[in-house]
Amino acid sequence: MESVSPPEWLTRSKQALLKSQEWQEFQDQLTAAVDLHLTEVQLDNFRDLSEEAKRSLLQNALQSVHQGGSYARISARVSEIIAEHIHLNRKYHVDTMTTPEWASLQTQANAGLLHLLQKWPDLKSKLYRCFNIQLPQSLRRLVWSLYLENPQVKTKYLEKFRQNPESTMSLLDLEIVKNCDHLLQTEQTLQPLKTFSMTLQTSSSIIASDYMLALPFVYVTLATNPSTSLKVADTATTIEQFMTFMECRPVYMKESYTTEFEAVWTEFTDKVISRLGAADEDLLDM
């Protein structure tokens, strides 16, 4: 995926934050916390640590200042600065004034998020904040590339395609094509996919539900490929992500033919019922 430059509002927000008194105060407290943790592990220099140890120590230092007043003040200041510069960016760019304010803000926030995730992929763990929120296609594509990376699957497909393109077709290709054609004709939501075709490899018949699980991956791939044909690399990436997703699914998302399904499904439903009861007891009586 092509690198995304930082949006103007993000760069200006960073510059404004670095000049603020709140940042200086927070930086001083964080530095003191880092020095304290270095003393505890009997080290004199932060640079002596490995990259993993640096991240761990910084995380511990951040947790120690998290409850302090400087953290609350820097958080409030960050919110103010970002809101100010996003608003200014919208105000001075005529093209953004023709779209609803909420849509403009979302677009700018997504652009900033794309840049930050590409620069610091480890921040993907913070994406739980976006749970249950519809993500734009570009951001969804990046998130999947971070979480569903499996170079071996992609390399295997590309190598087989290079040697013999026909070898990448499924032994059950005719059955799969017929099922896909049927879905395209009967499902209204799939009408935009009628002009595209994509080959997925499988050694066994595809379960009906698996066709539907593949749809989000196909949609995202096609959203960034406006032509009716896909590049081999794009197809390989889609296969890589879909196969990785299918492999890493918890057992309760798989069909009941698996040996562990019953026990894991019971455990999962018990956990859901327990959490629902803790949140709203009346809900369990419905």
- pLDDT score recorded for residue 25: 93
Judge if 15 and 103 occupy the same domain.
Answer: yes
User: d(Cα 39, Cα 57) in Å, to the nearest integer?
Assistant: 11
pTM for this predicted structure: 0.63
Judge if 112 and 223 occupy the same domain.
Answer: no
- pLDDT score recorded for residue 73: 92
Q: Is residue 96 part of a domain?
A: yes
Judge if 184 and 220 occupy the same domain.
Answer: yes
pLDDT(279) > 80? no
- What percent of the chain lies above the pLDDT cut of 70? 73
What is the extent of the structural domain holding 217? 151-249
User: d(Cα 245, Cα 190) in Å, to the nearest integer?
Assistant: 21
- pLDDT score recorded for residue 102: 63
Judge if 62 and 115 occupy the same domain.
Answer: yes
Mean pLDDT is lowest, of 53-62, 96-105, 153-162, for 96-105
Closest Cα to residue 233, out of 151, 168, 154? 154
pLDDT, the chain, mean: 78
Give the largest CA-CA distance in the chain.
Answer: 68
DSSP state of 254: S
DSSP state of 252: G
The answer to whether the beta carbons of residues 64 and 30 sit under 8 Å apart is no
DSSP state of 225: -
DSSP state of 134: P
Q: Is residue 139 part of a domain?
A: no
- The more confident residue out of 25 and 140 is 25
- Where residue 45 falls among pLDDT bands split at 50, 70, 90? confident
Q: Is residue 242 part of a domain?
A: yes
Q: List helix spans (H) across the chain.
A: 8-18, 21-40, 51-65, 69-92, 101-119, 137-147, 151-163, 173-186, 208-223, 232-248, 261-279, 281-284
Q: Is residue 283 part of a domain?
A: no
Tokens 């059955």 belong to which residue?
Answer: 175
Residue type, 8: E
Q: Is residue 255 part of a domain?
A: no
State mean pLDDT over 92-115: 70
Judge if 112 and 224 occupy the same domain.
Answer: no
- pLDDT score recorded for residue 1: 59
- Cβ contacts of 71 within 8 Å, gap of 6 or more: 26, 65
SS3 135: coil
Judge if 12 and 123 occupy the same domain.
Answer: yes
Q: Domain count for the chain, please give it.
A: 2
pLDDT(204) > 80? no
Judge if 129 and 155 occupy the same domain.
Answer: no
Q: Is residue 27 part of a domain?
A: yes
Q: If phi over 0 gives left and psi between -120 and 50 gives alpha, with beta otherwise, what is residue 132?
A: left
- pLDDT score recorded for residue 203: 43
Q: Is residue 254 part of a domain?
A: no
Judge if 27 and 118 occupy the same domain.
Answer: yes
